[in-house]
């Protein structure tokens, strides 16, 4: 800016130039290094060079067209959302399964919309690049399409999800259409639908008879026609899931449905081995780690070191100058002296 007017001798501009040069001569103040001493630290994610772009519906569609499997996983809080995002998961589902694996409830029917919004908001703070979907819990969408739309809007506005998932096939088609008409992406869910496990006599494989398999196909086609961008196939024989996948024009996300689906999803707590010994795992779950075992070892070591006063060591504590420590001791002694003197005089 100044170079452009270097030949102009206007006193005003010269004065401006003088002031700017004087300003430039001022040495910058050294930045103070501040040590955070809180017992809780914020877990804000830091973007890294080369980090993948935000996953969108177009991203998922392109993966489907290329025949590249879509990877999905559940998450229930900030940390589980963070690690899923960092691992390159494309779809992170805030599943109502957290009612059982995270909250200790008997089944998924107990969890409320308000609960799902809370957990969805926590996960969505972490998923900077993954496409985040949240389950509509039982009781939040079955009464009417209007109820479903209101619940979906709350999930998106308050829960910060990019889409919703709901269970049911042809009977939910009008509801799905109503939600998608508002601009909210919907993921379908057919086959074993856990929210309806009481009417299914428990968590049983679906599609083992020809009639039942045809019903699942019809349900998948119905939710596709209603506007779903993908559909979960749960607990369906792999041959049936493969044929349904071939018949559809949207991705199928399998869970206990074989490897011919367009993608896979698992419950993160199950596949990471976070549950205590004896916790029942479905047949289709593969444990990729033993978080429970590692956590137990860490906590046992913490107990041992705390009991022996080995922890906290010097490197885990904060210091005070000798001068201030001496001053503190002197003031403490003076306070005790004054207190004793006051007690004797009273």
d(CA 232, CA 94): 14
**CATH number where 168 lies:** 3.20.20.60
Establish if 304 belongs to a structural domain. Answer: no
Establish if 147 belongs to a structural domain. Answer: yes
Q: What is the DSSP string of 271-295?
A: HTT-SPTT----TT------HHHHH
Per-residue pLDDT at 24 exceeds 90: no
3-state secondary structure of 200: coil
Per-residue pLDDT at 28 exceeds 70: no
Q: Give the pLDDT band (50/70/90) at residue 149.
A: very high
pLDDT of residue 14: 43
Q: What number of other Cβ atoms are within 10 A of residue 235's Cβ?
A: 23
Instruction: Supply 236's token pair.
Output: 């369906």
Establish if 30 belongs to a structural domain. Answer: no
Q: Look at the alpha carbons of 194, 196, 199, 205 in this order and tell me if their dihedral is positive or negative.
A: negative
Write the burial class of residue 179 (CB in 10 Å: 0-12 exposed, 13-18 middle, 19+ buried).
Answer: buried
pLDDT of residue 47: 47
* % of residues, the chain, pLDDT over 90: 75
Residue 64's alpha-carbon distances to 235, 251, 256, 262, in angstroms, are: 21, 6, 19, 7
Q: Look at the alpha carbons of 125, 127, 131, 137 in this order and tell me if their dihedral is positive or negative.
A: negative
Per the annotation, the verdict on 90 as an active-site residue is no
- The model's pLDDT over 49-87, given as tens digits with 9 standing for 90+, comes to 457 899 999 999 999 999 999 999 999 999 999 999 999
Domains held by the chain: number: 1
- How many Å separate Cα 173 from the centre of its chain? 28
Establish if 4 belongs to a structural domain. Answer: no
Establish if 213 belongs to a structural domain. Answer: yes
Establish if 34 belongs to a structural domain. Answer: no
Mean pLDDT within 301-327? 97
Structural domain boundaries enclosing 108? 57-295
Q: What number of other Cβ atoms are within 10 A of residue 213's Cβ?
A: 20
Q: Give the pLDDT band (50/70/90) at residue 12.
A: very low
Establish if 341 belongs to a structural domain. Answer: no
Write the burial class of residue 55 (CB in 10 Å: 0-12 exposed, 13-18 middle, 19+ buried).
Answer: buried
pLDDT of residue 115: 96
CA angle in degrees (0–180, nearest 5) for 68-75-273? 90
Mean pLDDT of the chain: 88
* % of residues, the chain, pLDDT over 70: 84
Set 234, 239, 294, 300: catalytic member = 234
3-state secondary structure of 43: coil
**Least confidently predicted of 38-42, 212-216, 291-295, 315-319:** 38-42
Establish if 303 belongs to a structural domain. Answer: no
- The model's pLDDT over 162-176, given as tens digits with 9 standing for 90+, comes to 999 999 999 999 999
d(CA 240, CA 206): 10
**Least confidently predicted of 13-17, 230-234, 238-242:** 13-17
- The model's pLDDT over 174-192, given as tens digits with 9 standing for 90+, comes to 999 999 999 999 999 999 9
Cis preceding-peptide flag for 249 (omega within 30 of 0): no
- The model's pLDDT over 123-141, given as tens digits with 9 standing for 90+, comes to 999 999 999 999 999 999 9
Q: Model-level pTM?
A: 0.82
């Amino acid at each position: 800016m100044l170079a452009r007017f270097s030949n102009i001798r206007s006193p005003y501009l010269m004065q401006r130039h003088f002031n700017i040069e004087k300003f430039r001569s001022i040495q910058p103040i050294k930045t103070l290094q501040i040590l955070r001493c809180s017992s809780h630290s914020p877990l804000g994610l830091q973007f890294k060079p080369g980090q993948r772009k935000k996953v969108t519906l177009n991203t998922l569609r392109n993966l489907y067209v290329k025949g590249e499997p879509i990877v999905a996983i559940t998450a229930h809080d900030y940390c589980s959302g963070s690690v899923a995002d960092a691992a390159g998961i494309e779809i992170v589902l805030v599943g109502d399964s957290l009612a059982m694996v995270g909250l200790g409830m008997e089944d998924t029917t107990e969890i409320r919309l308000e609960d799902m919004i809370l957990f969805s908001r926590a996960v969505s703070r972490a998923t900077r690049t993954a496409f985040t979907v949240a389950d509509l819990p039982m009781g939040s969408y079955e009464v009417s399409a209007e109820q479903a739309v209101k619940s979906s809007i709350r999930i998106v506005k308050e829960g910060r999800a990019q889409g919703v998932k709901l269970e049911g096939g042809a009977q939910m088609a009008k509801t799905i259409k109503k939600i998608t008409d508002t601009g909210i992406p919907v993921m379908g869910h057919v086959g074993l639908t856990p929210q309806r496990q009481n009417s299914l006599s428990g968590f049983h494989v679906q599609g083992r008879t020809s009639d039942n398999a045809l019903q699942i196909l019809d349900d998948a086609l119905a939710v596709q026609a209603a506007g779903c961008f993908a559909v979960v196939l749960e607990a369906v024989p792999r041959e049936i899931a493969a044929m349904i996948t071939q018949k559809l024009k949207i991705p199928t996300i399998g869970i206990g449905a074989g490897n011919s689906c367009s993608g896979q999803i698992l419950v993160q707590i199950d596949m990471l081995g976070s549950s205590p010994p004896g916790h029942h795992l479905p047949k289709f779950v593969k444990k990729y780690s033993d978080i429970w075992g590692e956590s137990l070892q860490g906590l046992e070591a913490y107990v041992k070191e705390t009991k022996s006063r080995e922890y906290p060591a010097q490197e885990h504590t904060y210091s005070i100058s000798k001068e201030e420590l001496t001053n503190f001791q002197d003031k403490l002694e003076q306070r005790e002296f004054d207190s004793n003197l006051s007690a004797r005089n009273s």
